């Protein structure tokens, strides 16, 4: 897989009438050879969101999840696509209620799977595996310049979010992961 060619194909597809469907076709073709994507982007080794393309109308990210990482319920306020090339991503889907949100379904994504969400989708994400998960996430707008919401995982209280808030969450997850790996190494030495 050539990353520059992939991004260029997504940008070209975004000129079509049904933008999300056209971009989904490009993403589906790419992650169908998930080993090639993993080779091109590298084996996931830490949590993060690597920007592959960013404009007012389209953001393409390489999203990486630490083992057992959870991301609280959040929205995007724009259509989105997720294509998994390594590991697994479990999504709980939520819907708004009068005063909060309520679970409304689930979707597990395995290597090679692609899912499309509309601009009203609220979801939380879990990597249930003991290995890293990598996915290409594509958004129909500027992911980093859009004020969105996230919900506290315990109280389901709504709060503000944007790309910077999400980056901070991923950074914290890396710290937690590094501490757990260090703890496991120390336990092995003690035995």
DSSP β-bridge partners for residue 64: 48, 134
Given this model, what pLDDT does residue 187 score? 56
Residue 164, pLDDT score: 81
Whether the CB-CB separation of 63 and 109 falls below 8 Å is answered with no
Q: How many degrees, rounded to 5, is the angle at CA 162 between CA 93 and CA 89?
A: 35
What does the pLDDT look like over 90-108, one tens digit per residue? Answer: 999 999 999 999 999 999 9
Q: How many angstroms separate the CA atoms of 77 and 118, rounded? A: 8
Residue with tokens 């500027």: 142
pLDDT of residue 7: 98
Sheet containing 133-139, strands listed edge to edge, beginning at the edge strand earlier in sequence: 48-54, 59-65, 133-139, 80-86, 114-117
Q: What pLDDT shows up at residue 137?
A: 97
Among 140, 20, 127, smallest CA distance to 84 is for 127
List of E strands, 20-170: 48-54, 59-65, 70-75, 80-86, 88-96, 101-110, 114-117, 122-126, 133-139, 148-151, 158-161
What lies within 8 Å, CB to CB, of 166 at 6+ separation is: 49, 71, 74
Q: Which residue in this structure is represented by tokens 């949100």?
A: 101
Q: Spell out the domains of the chain, with CATH numbers in brackets.
A: 3-190 (2.60.120.10)
Low-confidence residues of the chain: pLDDT under 50: none
For residue 107, the model assigns a pLDDT of 96
C-alpha distances in Å from residue 1, one per residue of 7, 40, 50, 64, 94 = 11, 6, 17, 18, 34
């Amino acid at each position: 897989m050539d990353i520059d060619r992939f991004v260029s194909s997504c940008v070209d597809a975004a000129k079509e009438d049904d933008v999300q469907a056209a971009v989904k076709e490009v993403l589906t073709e790419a992650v169908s050879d998930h080993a090639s994507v993993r080779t091109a982007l590298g084996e996931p080794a830490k949590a993060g969101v690597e920007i592959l393309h960013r404009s007012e109308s389209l953001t393409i990210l390489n999203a990486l999840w630490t083992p057992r990482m959870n991301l609280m319920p959040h929205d995007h306020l724009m259509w989105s696509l997720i294509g998994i090339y390594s590991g697994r991503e479990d999504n709980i889907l939520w819907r708004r209620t009068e005063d909060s949100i309520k679970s409304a379904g689930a979707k597990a994504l395995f290597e090679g799977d692609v899912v499309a969400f509309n601009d009203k989708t609220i979801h939380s994400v879990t990597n249930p595996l003991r290995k890293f998960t990598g996915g290409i996430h594509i958004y129909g707008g500027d992911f980093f310049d859009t004020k969105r919401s996230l919900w506290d995982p315990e109280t389901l209280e709504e709060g503000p979010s944007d790309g910077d808030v999400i980056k901070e969450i991923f950074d914290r997850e890396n710290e937690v992961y590094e501490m757990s790996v260090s703890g496991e190494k120390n336990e092995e030495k003690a035995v």
